[in-house]
Structure 1
């Protein structure tokens, strides 16, 4: 497992009033999701924050809704100036914690982020031009 985030950063459930801040983090990573609004309403967005500022976000799709068994990471992103500090990993670990001891988490991603998912213990398979990970 990678090192954890800086001690001034904590992960919690995102709030609907943080939609703009979460969208800005996703936009900076050039990620789009139609799930942001519904996920915020359901409590399925995790945010990494420091001093009230959203530094990273993870959007989950509930069990079965993405055609997977278990929750699915629809998007995970960290502000560009805070990448490489363990924030993205902390978001994924928090999502895994929500799955319980017998649950698992899936993600579909590009090859350039494979090392990130491998460092978190995901089993990775090819799925067309993208990769599919299960943990």
Structure 2
């Protein structure tokens, strides 16, 4: 298995690699278990162009994490969803998946940034991976309610 993770690689016992069409169901299951709203067409398109990654447990080959990215514009890779099976969280697998996506984007001359939208609870996760936060997500509407509980991050090259 080729390890694409970068930033020190995948945690021991795991490998990060491109998702294949055979991984489709596993990717959808991992994302669904994390209650992420990514549709099958988005997953299929990401797999087709190499913008979907999986983290595998070396011993069994089981998919324990997945990342799906989109290209909302040719110069930007957007992390649409990243999830790790609950039993495998806290081991650096999610970080390895995002780091691998960033490394791939850095090698793509057409891409000048990787972006992500994420829950506020993941702010440290993304800033530790070198993302700058877009604080416009902190705006409030007239009733002093947050417009969104999500932040946006960008890592430019």
Contact 2:10 2:16 in 1 (8 A): no
Deviation at 1:63, TM superposition (A): 5.3
* Structure 1: gaps spanning 5 or more residues: none
Structure 1 residues 72, 63: CA separation in 2 closer, same or farther (over 3 Å shift)? same
Structure 2 counterpart SS, 1:41: helix
Q: Check if 1:36 corresponds to 2:56.
A: no
Aligned residues: 131
**Structure 2-normalised TM-score?**
0.76
Runs of 4+ in 1 over 4 A off after TM superposition: none
**Structure 1-normalised TM-score?**
0.88
The aligned runs of 1:44-55 (5 Å cut-off) are 44-50=51-57, 51-55=60-64
Which stretch shows the higher mean deviation, 30-39 or 8-17? 30-39
> Which residue of the partner structure matches residue 126 of structure 2?
117
RMSD, matched Cα: 1.9
Higher relative contact order (CA 8 A, sep 6+): 1
Deviations for 1:107-132, whole angstroms, at most 9, x for unmatched residues?
Answer: 01111111211111110123241211
Which stretch shows the higher mean deviation, 121-130 or 107-116? 121-130
| C-alpha distance in structure 2 between counterparts of 1:5 and 1:11, whole Å | 6
Deviation at 1:8, TM superposition (A): 1.2
Asked which structure has the greater CA Rg, the reply is 2
* Structure 2: gaps spanning 5 or more residues: 1-6, 138-146
